[in-house]
Amino acid sequence: MILIFLSITYSADTIKFYPDKKRVVLIGDAEAIDKDLKVNAQLIEYFTEAKRMIATGNPVLYSGKKTIYAERMEYNLDKKLGIVDNGKTKTEKGWFWGRKAYYTEDHSLYIIDGRFTTCDRDPPHYFFYSPRMRYEPDKDIVASNVFLLIMNIPVFYFPFWMSPSGGKRKSGFLAPSFGSQSYGGRYIKNIGWYQTLGEHADMTFWFDYYTSKGVMPHFEFRWIGMGNSSVNLYADYIRELSGRERWKINGDGSFLLTGGIKGRYRIDYASDRELYTDYVPGEVTPLIQDAGAYAEFTKSVKNGNLDMLLRRKKNLSTGEESGVIPSLKYTFYNIRVGPINIGGKIPYQRNINGEYFLYPGASFSMSKSLFPFNFSGSFHIDGFHASNTLDSLPYTGYHYSYSFSVNTRIYALSTFGLFMFKRFRFVYTPSIGYSFSPPGDSVQLLPGTPFSIPRGSKGLNIGLRILWQAKVNNKRMDIVSIRNGTSYDYENNRFRPITISASSSPTKNLNIGFNTTYNLYEKIFSSRNVNISYNGKFSLDEKRYKFSLRYSLTFDDSTFNQAADFSTDLPITKKWSGSISTHYDFRLREFQSTKVSLKRDLHCWEIAMSYNKFGTSWDYGFTLSLKGIPEVKLEKNTLRFFFP
């Protein structure tokens, strides 16, 4: 039976009216609909004057995208307020349920004795319990006195918890992490706040506490605009308990200014170079030698491109500073005059100490094919001007160079085949070239001068490439490619050693390489290098395996060294997966480095373990993380915080 009363539509197997009590009772497959709200239950009571609805018998409330299951449900249609007993609902993050929950018009939930989990099992493997929870769609989840229970056993306590809900960026507290490190001692990190600033920007402020060093505040700002414009800025500072002040500021970005000017910048300054390694636990980071900042601007102009650079750099070891303010360069677009390509540039640079440099240049090049030869040549000229030199005198000069080369191709085709190969073809590409550059002026330039005076040279280069091909099923296949080359040393009146290299890819996954040099006068080879690599995959018991194998061999008349690298992904079982990579030295007869990692899918959790060995040093890693909320995790450093 279906009945429409005012804005409410009823349906049920049986409908009873009690006019004196202003009460309607729906019995059996009952349903009540009011605009975007719908309630299904075995029994629904509706009080017409109070506009209050009570549903029992597996009631389900549908409101917008929200679905709430409960034992008993009460809803006031005027106030748009619902009260749910032993209710359960699914959100973007996971499942909520509680002894009592209040449901408001904006689809928010206020839960008493609430529980939350991302596990879809019933009962769940884990859940968070809080006597009071608040869930606001597309905003946040807030709870106090939170307990983490795994298999109904409490394992952790949070005095307060706040997490964004929905898929959009939202302001909120950061999830802190705990651990211990050699520099700083035990620590608590990420105590702070993340703030959104509209759709295109955000900022984060947090601090880390180190038991033996003190408090380190951090600040980060990010902005993304139109036309690939962006700003990233990061800074931190600490006054250690010893009184030592240390700081760091990093940033980068790009921008588009009016007039079509594009630019980018980067900032990387620190109080000392050890700061980059002291506060990064468990990682080996190279010491930063230089700190600095730069900004680049570029604009397309008539017949060319204009670039400007501002840069300042400081050596953190010596304290010496250098930089250019500014560096300008105008580059002409290449133009073609008949068979000749013409290009040029006009660079100018001024250092922070006042010296300036000008070094324009022009180039001319051409290529021409006259069967059966291919000719090419180029001519380059540069001018130089420095306002000062080591002799405390200005310098002005110029320099030129030129080169030309010729090559051809010779084809040889077999009249027979072998096995699956129908025909063979050899492609010979001999080449010869000459280059000349006169000696430059004898002048001592200042350190940091953006150009150098060429010493002068001339060279004769001879090369030969041999490509062996075959025809298989009407397709051309490259079997082996061999390259040989040498040059003539005019200063010593002899040819330099011949370089010889060969490569082959018999299959898509197999690559073979070889290289060496040969001395024509001593009639000896230098060390020979052989590299073989293979990337493969196969299936076994419906599991797909991937692996990579690389073998290297280096030998000469007195030494013989070989090594192998192997890596593979291991889908061990449906729940277990892993990877192995190792390097083996045949001469030392030992594995010099090995990395083994294992992962176990625990349904709603994931455990990751790793073992790393390099030489005599080794380390291990351990992480137990919650899939739905990755910031909830237990790591090796966390354990060291509690058990140093």
| Segment 36-56, tens digit of pLDDT | 788 899 999 988 888 888 999
Q: Collect contacts of 518-523 with beta carbons under 8 A, ≥24 apart.
A: 520/486, 520/495, 521/494
Q: Write down the pLDDT at residue 281.
A: 52
* Rounded Cα distance, 36 and 39, in Å: 10
Q: Write down the pLDDT at residue 284.
A: 40
pLDDT winner (highest mean) among 133-147, 315-329, 540-554: 540-554
- Residues 6 or more apart whose Cβ sits within 8 Å of residue 405: 375, 376, 377, 431, 432, 433, 434, 461
- Residues 6 or more apart whose Cβ sits within 8 Å of residue 53: 32, 39, 44, 45, 46, 47, 74, 75, 76, 77
**Per-residue pLDDT band at 286 (split at 50, 70, 90):** very low
pLDDT tens, position by position, 469-512: 988 887 888 899 999 999 999 888 999 999 999 999 988 899 99
**Per-residue pLDDT band at 282 (split at 50, 70, 90):** very low
Confidence check: pLDDT of 513 > 60: yes
- The continuous run of DSSP H or E covering 276 comes out as helix 275-278
- Span 66-77, average pLDDT: 89
- Span 606-630, average pLDDT: 86
Confidence check: pLDDT of 578 > 90: yes
- Span 108-130, average pLDDT: 90
- Span 559-588, average pLDDT: 92
* Rounded Cα distance, 521 and 627, in Å: 67
**Per-residue pLDDT band at 257 (split at 50, 70, 90):** confident
Q: Whole-model pTM?
A: 0.64
- Span 227-235, average pLDDT: 88
More confident residue, 376 or 539: 376
Say how many C-beta atoms besides its own lie within 10 A of residue 122's C-beta: 7
What is the residue-averaged pLDDT of the chain?
87
Q: Write down the pLDDT at residue 639.
A: 64
* Rounded Cα distance, 123 and 627, in Å: 18
pLDDT tens, position by position, 400-453: 999 999 999 999 988 887 887 888 899 999 999 999 999 988 888 888 888 888
**Sequence letter at residue 276:** Y
Q: Write down the pLDDT at residue 371.
A: 86
pLDDT tens, position by position, 79-118: 888 899 999 988 777 888 899 999 887 778 899 999 999 8
Least reliable range by pLDDT among 39-48, 162-171, 607-616: 162-171
Confidence check: pLDDT of 283 > 70: no
Confidence check: pLDDT of 285 > 50: no
**Sequence letter at residue 453:** I
Q: Write down the pLDDT at residue 631.
A: 75
Tokens of residue 146, six digits: 């939170």
Q: Write down the pLDDT at residue 423.
A: 85
- Span 130-144, average pLDDT: 84
Report the C-alpha dihedral over residues 471, 476, 479, 482, rounded to 10 degrees: 120
Confidence check: pLDDT of 217 > 80: yes
Helix ranges (DSSP H) in 462-538: none
Confidence check: pLDDT of 562 > 90: yes
* Rounded Cα distance, 194 and 202, in Å: 8
